A and B are shown apart, each in its own frame.
Chain A
């Protein structure tokens, strides 16, 4: 359904996307995970035809996003990070307006809007001005507006920012429903729990590069093991940390005052690691043993925490 080949995009000297290649099949719920500034939004903007890539190609439903933008636009619905709605229009008026932009007849747009508001449990507030809605309610209308023209692909750029847990849970349920209906979803976020819960496949993007892609299990395997020893130091001595890194080769990643060490056998590897730290005069503040999740996978792949 979506084929991205070696796309690149730079803004001045800043390379936002650096050769990303990715394929997303029809009906897939794909999570694009990465820290702020990793290149997620730029990728979504390229997919939504808003930005032209400097290099590479993107095809959506067989159409080239640059040459056949109009056809691509009919296939996709985009949920932007911002609450891109008009506060002085009611929920219903907002949805009808956005629907009409996709050349849906007024009566059909009204019918679909009501349908969407029912789905998001907002039909009782359909005639209220949006400015009277809570943040969570607006987020739901924001998603509904992207679905009003019944797209085959839904591009979601951090759609649950600032949403209360209850609304978030409801959004997850609706998205699962969309996915079950065969809608292809690309979901960008830096919330690992969202991706773990929702996505059938995950791509990890950092510094504009897709550094890993697969199911959660595949990523665990890709990152090399299922456990991680994370040591936080009191006194940071970069030269000594480098010595540690040399000793334990590529299994060790160091970022700031923290060392993460991938292992399949904690019992065997933890004592020598602690001993060596002590020998080097490094004061340990905290040691944690974590099962590989997206956070630890990201940490093991980049040496950084996702939220940094």
Chain B
């Protein structure tokens, strides 16, 4: 098995065109998708902002401040309007969406409650609305988040320790406020843990980690492109199994004293090795050249790379096993990969898609791999958070390997 894989690697390394296609093309595509999704050159680009209505029914200082901050963003432009007219215009298709700040918004932030904000959108323009929703959620969280969380913490402390001295409460409030102070003012406290145990017994207050800048667009362009390109690569390797059959070398391999399945697994091992290297190179490029910051555990990232490579390698031999000829395998692979990439989130980010499409996506390798990369690269997820993605990739890979092994045995007889 290893001998077959090594032989294939040796042949691959002699194929300059193949090498370029394997490593250079995905890098070019990641860069292009990065630009298209806005993960690159974002600051320099003068993008046209998405114009939506805003209805401020609260008119509090908090709502006015939030609206001003949102309006100052490059990607969103807000036009004030009354609730009724705005709704009418959205329903008539004159405007994509309307953001409503209900009465009590300011109080809610003060009291640490749930903020009454609602986004109405034209359901015929769901894709655009998803984009707006995505931009609003991330920005609203950033604007209102710290204030709201501070209040929530204080509310919780008050409820749990009603008898606490007011001066200690003031101290706690100051400490918490300090943790949310903008980065430039307090670099030295960002990673510290502040213990004020001497004053409030066993209460330990930990600062919330500063929200790092997560470039979702770049993660999307890396993960989406990488998995799609990997699938194309391994499908070609799988097809080479049929090429060996056509050229007679498979027959000669079968003359040798080894289990025929070793030939299949040898090809899979080669695919997996190549896919792993390809993913590492693509990730390294995205990190070092395009500037993606990895927020997660590197070991989990590697684990995901290995499981993605395994699932993709299985896909390659699966396609070869169900095809009658190399041409058939190539055509079939192209169709299946394009469909998987379209519904699995490689071409279009999943959050752009309607709910039913997102449900369909779970049958694809792309979906689980991209989700896994979002978790490991962006969200600093723990093992349990990525366990499902890894388990699903292993499951899909193993299912395809078992079917391929069965079909390959059948195909052996066709060789002669």
Interface set of A (CB-CB < 8 Å, partner B): 41-42, 45, 48-51, 70, 73-74, 76, 78, 80-86, 88-89, 93, 97-98, 100-103, 129, 145
Contact = CB atoms under 8 A, between A and B. Distances in A.
22 contacts: A45-B416, A50-B251, A50-B254, A70-B257, A73-B255, A73-B256, A73-B257, A76-B255, A78-B252, A80-B251, A82-B247, A84-B248, A84-B249, A84-B251, A84-B252, A86-B7, A89-B7, A89-B11, A93-B10, A100-B3, A101-B257, A129-B14
B255 A50 contact: yes
Interface string B47-58: 000000000000
B290 interface: no
A50 B257 contact: no
Interface string B7-23: 10011001100000000
B89 to A, nearest CB: 65
B258 interface: yes
**Chain B interface main SS type:** helix
Contacts of B299: none
A51 B413 contact: yes
A78 B254 CA distance: 11
A3 B173 CA distance: 95
Contacts of A102: 256-257
B125 to A, nearest CB: 53
A-B residue pairs, 5 tightest by C-beta:
A82-B248, A84-B248, A84-B252, A101-B256, A73-B257
Nearest to B413: A51
B253 interface: yes
B205 interface: no
Contact of A83 (B10, B14, B248, B253): B248
Contacts of B247: 82-84
A85 B256 contact: no
Interface in B196-218: none
Given A51-B416, A88-B11, A89-B11, A101 B248 contact: no
A83 B249 CA distance: 8
B415 interface: yes
A80 B256 contact: no
Contact of A101 (B3, B10, B15, B251): B3
A268 B414 CA distance: 54
Nearest to A41: B416
Contacts of A85: 249
A89 B253 CA distance: 16
B416 A78 contact: no
A50 B7 contact: no
A92 to B, nearest CB: 12
B258 A101 contact: yes
Nearest to B14: A88
Contacts, number: 61
Interface of B: 3, 7, 10-11, 14-15, 247-249, 251-258, 412-413, 415-416
Contacts of B252: 78, 80, 84, 98, 145
A184 B187 CA distance: 84
A73 B260 CA distance: 13
Contacts of A80: 248, 251-252
A294 B358 CA distance: 72
The CB with the most chain A CB atoms within 10 A, among B252, B253, B256, B415, is that of B252
Contacts of A129: 14
A74 B257 contact: yes
The CB with the most chain A CB atoms within 10 A, among B11, B249, B257, is that of B257
Given A73-B256, A82-B251, A129-B14, 16 more contacts: A41-B416, A42-B416, A50-B412, A51-B413, A51-B416, A73-B257, A76-B255, A80-B248, A80-B251, A84-B249, A84-B252, A86-B11, A86-B249, A88-B11, A88-B14, A101-B3
Nearest to B250: A84
Contacts of A83: 247-248
A94 to B, nearest CB: 9
A50 B257 CA distance: 11
B255 A78 contact: yes
B248 A50 contact: no
A78 to B, nearest CB: 5
A49 B51 CA distance: 73
Nearest to A77: B255
A74 B255 CA distance: 9
A117 B11 CA distance: 21
A242 B257 CA distance: 54
A129 B15 CA distance: 12
A86 to B, nearest CB: 6
Contacts of B15: 88
Contact of A89 (B10, B254, B258): B10
Contacts of A49: 255
B73 to A, nearest CB: 55
Contacts of A48: 255
B2 to A, nearest CB: 10
Nearest to B15: A88
A149 to B, nearest CB: 9
Nearest to B256: A101
Nearest to A88: B11
A137 to B, nearest CB: 17
A138 to B, nearest CB: 12
A186 to B, nearest CB: 14
Contacts of B258: 101
A34 to B, nearest CB: 17
Nearest to B252: A84
B352 to A, nearest CB: 43
B340 to A, nearest CB: 30
A17 to B, nearest CB: 12
Contacts of A81: 248
A82 B258 CA distance: 21
A146 to B, nearest CB: 8
A172 to B, nearest CB: 23
A82 to B, nearest CB: 3
A97 B254 CA distance: 14
A50 B251 CA distance: 8
Contacts of A45: 416
A93 B258 CA distance: 20
Nearest to A100: B3
